[in-house]
Amino acid sequence: MSPNGHLDAPPRELRALRRLPRPLYGRAEALPNRLLGYRHSHPWVQLSYATRGVLDVHTAGGRFVAPPQRAVWIPPGVAHRVRATPDARINSLYIDPAALAGGGECRVLAISPLLRELIRAFAALPVTYAEDGADGRLVRVLLDQLAAAPSEALMLPLPGDPRLRRLCAALQRQPDDARALAAWGQRLGAAEKTLSRLFRRETGLTFRAWRQRLRLFHALPLLERGERVTDVALACGYDSTSAFIAAFRAQFGATPGAFAGSPEAPRTC
């Protein structure tokens, strides 16, 4: 990329900014496969876009998982931590809240081919692009397209109840744990009906639906690094490979094999 481009700006430069130089600012980085050791937030909207690999953003309210050609929209002031697969390529954009109708909620967005190309074109612009010229018009179209981008159900809500938090943390460490909710109730000292009611109230999902979504999210990095579909199904707690494939297709709109073999998207840097 041209030395005038802005996506190579180091993280410390971003932290030093008191205000964005333009309504839209960005940089690209390859994130390591580890959970960052601290929660942080920005006074701007952040869009973290996975051009390659799987992006996993944690907030107090849930996990937001972005496979390739998806992005996580993080409103201003939302504390978050980030994890990505080893070869991930993450393009982060930062948006002045004044340039939008509102920050909205944290969510996962689908990145269309048009939006992808707009982000690529933006990557070639200088930091202080001319707002009243062609560059400024490109940015306005990009922002319009982001505002219109559809959300995807790639969020795993986290409950606030301490007992459910313990249960959910244990399952995130071991997604193939097959214990029924009644068994968890005995361990946590709560009736099965109580836990079931709390799960629906605090996550909007049944325990079974929540655990299935967790397992499918767990499958993404395993598939990306080339593990066999049968092995991934077992690692995620599925006794039947066909059941895993059906659940995966329902969640992501593609089979596990198609996801693992999808071509790499063009890079933005």
Query: Does 268 fall in a domain?
Result: no
Q: pLDDT tens for residues 99-112? A: 877 668 899 999 99
Nearest-5° Cα angle at 118, 115 to 119:
90
Query: Does 102 fall in a domain?
Result: yes
- Could you give the 3-state DSSP secondary structure of residue 127? coil
- Could you give the 3-state DSSP secondary structure of residue 61? coil
Q: pLDDT tens for residues 162-194? A: 999 999 999 999 999 999 999 999 999 999 999
Q: What is the structure's pLDDT at 245?
A: 95
Are 148 and 186 in a shared domain? no
Residue 33 pLDDT grade (very low, low, confident, very high; cuts 50, 70, 90) = very low
Which one of 130, 152, 174 terminates a domain?
152
DSSP H or E segment with residue 152: strand 151-152
Average pLDDT over residues 19-33: 71
d(CA 7, CA 172): 33
Q: Give the CATH number for residue 47.
A: 2.60.120.280
DSSP β-bridge partners for residue 92: 27, 48
d(CA 89, CA 50): 6
Nearest to 60 by CA among 36, 42, 84, 81: 81
Residues of the domain holding 216: 158-260
Query: Does 1 fall in a domain?
Result: no
Using alpha carbons, list the distances in angstroms from residue 88 to 33, 42, 264: 8, 22, 11
Are 59 and 99 in a shared domain? yes
* Stated pTM of the model: 0.81
Contacts (Cβ under 8 Å, ≥6 apart) of 208 = none
Which one of 152, 185, 220 terminates a domain?
152
